[in-house]
Amino acid sequence: MSTTCDLCVIGSGPGGYVAAIRAAQRGLSVVCVERESLGGICLNWGCIPTKALLRSAEVLETCERAAEFGIIAENISFDFEAIIKRSRGISARISKGVAYLLKENKVQHIQGTGRLAGAGMVKVSCENGDETIIAKDIIVATGARARSLPGIEVDGDRIIAYREALTLKDRPESLVVLGAGAIGVEFASFYRSLGTEVTIIEYQDRLVPNEDAEISAELLRAYRKRGIKTKVGYSATRAIPGEDGVSITVEPAGGGAPQPLKADKLLVSIGITGNVENLGLEDVGIDIEHGFMKVGPDLRTSVQGIWGIGDVTGGIALAHVASAEAIYVAETIAGHHAEPVDYGTVPSCTYCHPEIASVGFSEEKARHEGIAIKVGRFPFGPLGKTMAAGEYPGFAKFIWREDNGALVGAHLIGPAVTELIAEPTLAKSTEVNAESLINTIHAHPTFAEALKEAAEDAYGLAIHI
């Protein structure tokens, strides 16, 4: 069988399905090829199911603290199997929603594995035979998967990655998390809430090393308070699974004597590698670099009519980045003007407890770049909303250009900050400067008041400190 269309999209994650739908909205005939569940890793194995788990953990912790709020709640317990089942059910429901959207927008969905067979041609291996798709343009949006280390191979049982961590049948009594990026600290947060003994190993000298150093320090304090153990500045050199757990050898990154660790499970979360295998990329002349598909700044490959978006390209591995790239490429293919993605204004969110959110440069990066800056901070603790909610306090930090008050970076840790980051992101992407934000009335009592106070603090104007 063969199908002719304007655009073929390989992959249906937040990049793929968004590109397919936007192109269809612009009048193009579109085919979307997906080998697994619609919605890709984010909807099925990443963003959505992890947030469902973390919500269950939040509810549990709130119930356990009920007496602080004058509520009598006794014999609090949890059903681990039901927590996992709820998470998987939410993912399945959203995946069905993607199917509905594709159908409503007249995007043809083909279940199978796509492979480039030349410019303008995709071969799809399906359960009932092969299909050939002839398309003027092709978007590769196949995403990425967890990376492993030599000597520490994921076996799906004792040594696991994020997929297995989302579908365990029983709660582990102890868990070692290798890697303190977003995935690692989120799973550490979830399992600790359920009573698992958690140890985090991180090669770099702090947790969430991509965040501002002050944010990392605050998260370390919060995790120590929660009883999460950490070994920052350590590498794991060996892991041996056994019937009663996994034996792990760790060593100080700067050199030193090896140390043994033992746990029921080892979760490997040290980064990702692109899903570039068996795509025919090299056969058609597209380079693969460091495990990712090579694209130019405009997301075009070296082959006319073939584009790459999302995690497979090795850029910023966030769902909303893939979606933004999808819109840009789909609009461009459809002949419409599209603004390129501004990667300097991409917000980053980590949904551990306490939450973390940021946009723009860290203070260290700003100073390294030689930017003259003003820095302001404000803790959430003194706010009436924080006290009333009984939330972990944390703080907001703003970095402004000294000359014109333009936002250089914003870094938040504390309650609801993954929602609050939208305001600084708007400031970063527009002409909202320190003066504008300071003069914007923020409702009281809200967590958002901390943003205004942090902006004011940079100029010596904060009132509540």
- Distance from C-alpha of 464 to C-alpha of 207, rounded to nearest angstrom: 30
**Could you tell me if 160 and 267 are in contact, meaning their C-beta atoms sit under 8 angstroms apart?**
yes
Give the Å distances, CA to CA, from 451 to 14, 406, 441: 30, 15, 11
Is 444 one of the catalytic residues?
yes
Helices (H), 105-128: none
Q: How far apart are the first and last CA of the chain?
A: 70
- Distance from C-alpha of 318 to C-alpha of 135, rounded to nearest angstrom: 28
- Distance from C-alpha of 397 to C-alpha of 356, rounded to nearest angstrom: 12
Helix, strand and coil content of the chain, in percent to the nearest 5, comes to 35, 30, 40
As to burial, measured by CB atoms within 10 angstroms (0-12 exposed, 13-18 middle, 19+ buried), residue 228 is: buried
Using the structure block, give the residue that is written with the tokens 């961590």. 165
Could you say which of 336, 353, 442, 444 is catalytic?
A: 444
Give the Å distances, CA to CA, from 404 to 171, 398, 411, 462: 52, 14, 20, 19
Nearest to 83 by CA among 201, 166, 146: 166
**Could you tell me if 30 and 20 are in contact, meaning their C-beta atoms sit under 8 angstroms apart?**
yes
Instruction: Report DSSP letters for 230-263, one per residue.
Output: EEETEEEEEEEEETTEEEEEEEETT----EEEEE
- Distance from C-alpha of 46 to C-alpha of 98, rounded to nearest angstrom: 16
Nearest to 209 by CA among 364, 318, 321: 364
- Distance from C-alpha of 254 to C-alpha of 269, rounded to nearest angstrom: 21
The two three-digit tokens of residue 239, written as one number: 């892991």
Catalytic residue numbers read 444
